[in-house]
Structure 1
Amino acid sequence: MMFLDLARKNAWRKPMRTVLLIVCIAVAFLIYGLTASFLAGTQGTSAASDDILGVMSASGRTEPLPIAYMSRLAADPDIAAVGYMTRLRGFVDIDRNVVAVSAADPDLLMTVNGKGLGLTPELVKAIGEGRDRVLVGRALANAQGWRVGQRVAVTAFDTRKEDGGRDWRFEIAGIFEGENAATDTYFMIARYDYVNTARARAKDTVDAFIVRPRDGVPSGELAARIDALFANSAAPTRTQSEKQFLEAFLRQYADIGLIVNLVVGAAFVTLLMIVVNTMVFAVRERTFEIGVLKTLGFSRLGIMTLILGETLFVFAVGGSLGLVLAKLATMISGPELGLVFSLSVLAKGLAIIAALGLVTSALPAFNAMRTPIINALRAR
């Protein structure tokens, strides 16, 4: 308790300097918390599955596949469940208000990925009561202010109806929540039979098949076998896990992980230089006091522990404040921005607090530990 009390009092001997240090540390960890939450949520790595496979055209995401592939996939004994979906992208009211619609067979989707999406038998039953009914994700419903029973019109960018129009009208049958906060729920689920019958082109085709392997079947081996099955067909396939697909999709624009790591790294390097310089100066101010402590019987290890405790105290206060602010920011932003402050983000943040606290206090602690008593007493 004596060491903790001394460390606390030393840290607050100049309140303004300590407050400014805490603010700098809090800002750095706020940046870390927000960027790490962005990676955990928007990039989808915390929710995306390595087991669920997506079978798409090898020519690109915009090229459809024949729905007849469904029977050949379902015949594979290593596939536990298979579904299909086609995309319909459009906007509501204004062209900047973009929404995505995934047209699928609700029963098959429930079997393949119902748990991940948070689908329930009641929701599947509700969408089955009308061909133009849809299920809306919680994030999309909150962003648009939609409610169950409301009718909405989506103006498609590319998918035209047989009558030449691009307006698709739906009735909201229910809202799905997703398995956890990291699950993407910013889209709608429509019935494939309704979209397929009404669209003017690409009838009886899908944009992707969704495959769940049986337990114990390596997803990588199954993906290679599926692609080999259709290698010599008119529409060869490319099979990826959900996680691989999301990572590849984001890399089309930039390596998000590298950019985020560079930003966070720059913030922490700057913080490291500021705190090391400040702590070296603060310990140098107390050279005489350190000599007195050594005279009173404090060991070299005790002196080092005292300075380590002082620096760790400042980092603990500032880092915790920054992480709390990051958590509050993710809660206020809601699911629309896709920020997820997960336990892994918190654990990594606490580890960084401890590591930076030890690194920044190493130099001043070493200098204080090796200073002879006679030289320290002369400093006054």
Structure 2
Amino acid sequence: MTFLDLAWKNAWRKPLRTVLLMVCVAVAFLIYGLTASFLAGSQGASAASEDIIGVMSAAGRTQALPRAHLSRIAAEPGVAAVGYMARVRGFVDVEKNVIAVSAVEPQALMAVNGKELGLTPALVEALGKGRDRVLVGRALAEAQGWRVGQRIAVTAFQIARQDGGQDWRFEIAGIFEGESASTDTYFTIARYDYVNAARARGKDTVDAFIVRPRDGVKAGALATRIDALFANSAAPTRSQSEKQFLEAFLRQYADIGLIVDLVTGAAFITLLLIVVNTMVFAVRERPFEIGVLKTLGISRLRIMALVLSETLLVFIIGGSVGLALAKLGTVLAGPTLGLVFSPLVLVKAAAIVLALGLATGLLPAINAMRIPIIIAFRTR
């Protein structure tokens, strides 16, 4: 019998206990996998660029900026490309079914962050064939069941048309995929000229400018220079990277990272206590066997490694099951909820499995190593 065979036999001395421990581990890592996947894919924050700069009103996200700012931003040294965007928030069919429409100039968007969004010349060309055409992100299209060529109506919450209506009608010209799985594609791209011409108020204004710095230009320094251009104007700006903007946007509602840490921390601490307590009693059940192993010449360190191997087996099997279920959940609900089970999530989970397996087995392993042979035999 090999060392691993012996560890496996010891782990399954009481099958029900081992199965229940594995279930506890699986549930804990299912929670971790889902919450970490949400954090990794929450509104594309993990894929957001630290180089692309968003320029918004210093008065807040609800205040618009004049489109005339475009020429001054484009003339700033260090700016490789600049685009602009106006937001239309509304719903489809029912008010709970909220979607976002970003009205842009297609060619400018392509130059600024077309690569990150997965835009292609064919998609941009399709968008340009009609003023009311839109591109829909893959996640939104799958959640809504939309297809290319379908006509949709978005009822805006605030932006009214010149005819007094709130309904904006579009035709889907294409679906963009995003550069990676963690890219936010739960929104629609429309043409700015169509929205600007049809809206009743706020003509020739934008909600944000999008700037791509030249190679070698630091985004933070460029953002500071852009804000200095409009510091004394009637519409001062606040510039920050796309990643900073998305993180600040999420923190308006809650500190998502803190919530994830608290939930997973509580799950892992509870798991730690359960497994340590169970393994301590499991070692106390077999002092005679440990005494026999020592009599046969098995070293104290190998006995310690034997107990650690038992806990590692429990964590590896249970953790693998939990992470597999988390991966399945992201596949089934990922496009709708923005869950991304990234390789980084898997690597972190594997490290936690190893750390918890060693931590929970350390105390019972030390107890097993320190049992004197005479006392072990007296228990028989």
| Structure-1-length-normalised TM-score | 0.98
Q: Which residue of 1 aligns with 2:197?
A: 197
Q: Percent identity?
A: 77
Unpaired segments ≥5 residues, structure 2: none
Contact 1:117 1:177 in 2 (8 A): yes
Report the Cα offset of residue 44 of structure 1. Answer: 3.0
Question: In 2, distance between residues paired with 1:328 and 1:342?
Answer: 13
Report the Cα offset of residue 334 of structure 1. Answer: 3.4
Report the Cα offset of residue 103 of structure 1. Answer: 0.3
Q: Which residue of 1 aligns with 2:112?
A: 112
Question: In 2, distance between residues paired with 1:58 and 1:272?
Answer: 47
Asked if residue 211 in structure 1 is aligned to residue 211 in structure 2, the reply is yes
Spell out the pairing of 1:165-314 with structure 2 (5 A cutoff): 165-314=165-314
Classify the secondary structure of the residue corresponding to 1:189. strand
Report the Cα offset of residue 181 of structure 1. Answer: 1.3
Q: Which residue of 2 aligns with 1:147?
A: 147
Question: In 2, distance between residues paired with 1:360 and 1:216?
Answer: 48
Q: Which residue of 2 aligns with 1:80?
A: 80
Contact 2:43 2:184 in 1 (8 A): no
Asked if residue 333 in structure 1 is aligned to residue 333 in structure 2, the reply is yes
Report the Cα offset of residue 118 of structure 1. Answer: 0.7
Contact 1:43 1:247 in 2 (8 A): no
Q: Which residue of 2 aligns with 1:67?
A: 67
| Stretches (4+) displaced over 4 A | none
Contact 2:312 2:358 in 1 (8 A): yes
Classify the secondary structure of the residue corresponding to 1:306. helix
Q: Tell me the amino acid that sits aligned with residue 69 of structure 1.
A: H
Report the Cα offset of residue 77 of structure 1. Answer: 2.0
Question: In 2, distance between residues paired with 1:186 and 1:93?
Answer: 17
Q: Tell me the amino acid that sits aligned with residue 39 of structure 1.
A: L
Question: In 2, distance between residues paired with 1:357 and 1:154?
Answer: 51
1:83-129 deviations in whole A, cap 9, x for unaligned? 00000111112222211110000100001000111100000000101
Classify the secondary structure of the residue corresponding to 2:44. coil
Contact 1:49 1:243 in 2 (8 A): yes
| Structure-2-length-normalised TM-score | 0.98
Classify the secondary structure of the residue corresponding to 1:46. coil
1:123-172 deviations in whole A, cap 9, x for unaligned? 00001011111111111111111111111111111111111111111111
Root-mean-square deviation (CA, aligned residues, Å) is 0.9
Report the Cα offset of residue 311 of structure 1. Answer: 0.9
Q: Which residue of 2 aligns with 1:353?
A: 353
Q: Tell me the amino acid that sits aligned with residue 375 of structure 1.
A: I
Q: Which residue of 2 aligns with 1:377?
A: 377
More moved, 214-223 vs 346-355: 214-223
More moved, 230-239 vs 251-260: 251-260
1:288-321 deviations in whole A, cap 9, x for unaligned? 1000000000001111111111111111100111
Question: In 1, distance between residues paired with 2:95 and 2:45?
Answer: 29
Spell out the pairing of 1:90-109 with structure 2 (5 A cutoff): 90-109=90-109
Classify the secondary structure of the residue corresponding to 1:334. helix
Report the Cα offset of residue 215 of structure 1. Answer: 1.2
Contact 1:315 1:353 in 2 (8 A): yes
Question: In 2, distance between residues paired with 1:41 and 1:236?
Answer: 32
Question: In 2, distance between residues paired with 1:147 and 1:321?
Answer: 35
Q: Which residue of 2 aligns with 1:127?
A: 127
Question: In 2, distance between residues paired with 1:370 and 1:143?
Answer: 59
Question: In 2, distance between residues paired with 1:236 and 1:179?
Answer: 33
> What count of residue pairs does the alignment treat as equivalent?
380
Contact 1:81 1:211 in 2 (8 A): yes
Task: Decide whether aligned partners of structure 1 residues 195 and 177 sit closer, same or farther in structure 2, where only a CA change above 3 A counts.
Answer: same
Q: Which residue of 2 aligns with 1:323?
A: 323
Q: Tell me the amino acid that sits aligned with residue 121 of structure 2.
A: P
More moved, 189-198 vs 159-168: 159-168
1:183-225 deviations in whole A, cap 9, x for unaligned? 1111111100111111111111100000011111111111111
Question: In 2, distance between residues paired with 1:299 and 1:94?
Answer: 70
Classify the secondary structure of the residue corresponding to 1:55. strand
Contact 1:181 1:335 in 2 (8 A): no
Question: In 2, distance between residues paired with 1:188 and 1:164?
Answer: 23
Classify the secondary structure of the residue corresponding to 1:50. coil
Question: In 2, distance between residues paired with 1:370 and 1:45?
Answer: 50
Question: In 2, distance between residues paired with 1:345 and 1:299?
Answer: 38
1:341-379 deviations in whole A, cap 9, x for unaligned? 000100000000000010111111111111111111112
